[in-house]
Structure 1
């Protein structure tokens, strides 16, 4: 069962934008992250949830997609994420977040996959500008953005070739 979910948990970059994701679904996914391992059990991660089209559009303006695809600037209108979860580090709890946000993000994406959704971890973020645009207090550092939606593409797993090129 878990292997099947892990196999289906790919980085999706195109979505059925018209398929809404409810706030309650995002809260359920964050609860999976809350139950995940945290260094020294500090629980320094906090989450900004967005499933409203206006906020989603604002977030979209501040993130980068598929760094290896230089001429692609992200999904077109109609193929954009229906929701985002922004993983924040509370600097009043800890100054270093280690790999906690990666563990949390994987838990969120596995949960999304189980619900028939897909997502993509995005680390290319204009963090300061996005924090200001969303009114996120300075004590919170943006660590990752997770884009979520109903996948519109079929992702294929390829083996690394003889040239060791790992680019998609």
Structure 2
């Protein structure tokens, strides 16, 4: 069950814009992040949910989409995210968030995958402009954006060959994600 869910949880970059996601649905996924592990149990992460189309349109150009796909400028109109979650560190609570961001984003995306949606963690963000758009003060640091929607692309996992881990798209638009073999990543077995 968990392996199937993790395998379904890919970094989707093309979505069906006709299928909307409510802020209540996203709040349910954020609750999974809230319940997840937190370094020192400090829980310094906060979240801003963006579902209004006008605000989504303003966030979209402030994001980088796929570094390995150098000829691709990102999703076309009709394939763009219908929602975003801004992952924010509250410096009033803690200055170090340890690995909470990765745990939280994985929890949110697993919840989305379980409900038939998908997303992409985006670190290539014009953080100053997005923070201004969201009205964040100096104690709230934007860490990442999670783009969300109903996936409109096929993403498959391939075995990496010769150490090549760069994702790519084939002539049919299928997105291939090479993963290192298990015997390469497990370096010790007692």
Report if TM-score (shorter chain) is over 0.5: yes
Q: Which runs of 5+ in 1 are unaligned?
A: none
- Any idea what SS the aligned residue of 1:156 has? strand
Distance 1:36 1:8 in 2: 20
Distance 1:136 1:63 in 2: 18
Aligned equivalent of 1:57: 57
Query: What does 1:34-113 correspond to in 2, within 5 Å?
Result: 34-113=34-113
Distance 2:93 2:73 in 1: 35
After TM superposition, give the deviation of residue 53 of structure 1 in Å: 0.6
Distance 2:107 2:134 in 1: 25
CA-based RMSD: 0.8
Aligned equivalent of 2:5: 5
Distance 1:4 1:70 in 2: 30
Q: Which has the higher strand share?
A: 2
TM-score by length of 2: 0.86
Q: Deviations over 1:87-122 (max 9, x none)?
A: 000011111212101000000000000000011000
Q: Which runs of 5+ in 2 are unaligned?
A: 168-190
After TM superposition, give the deviation of residue 158 of structure 1 in Å: 1.1
Distance 2:2 2:59 in 1: 31
- Any idea what SS the aligned residue of 1:158 has? strand
Distance 2:73 2:142 in 1: 21
- Any idea what SS the aligned residue of 2:89 has? strand
Distance 1:32 1:138 in 2: 27
Distance 1:15 1:115 in 2: 15
TM-score by length of 1: 0.97
After TM superposition, give the deviation of residue 59 of structure 1 in Å: 1.3
Higher Cα radius of gyration = 2
Distance 1:115 1:23 in 2: 14
1:167 equivalent to 2:177? Answer no
After TM superposition, give the deviation of residue 139 of structure 1 in Å: 1.0
- Any idea what SS the aligned residue of 1:65 has? coil
The answer to which structure, 1 or 2, has the higher relative contact order (CA under 8 A, 6+ apart) is 1
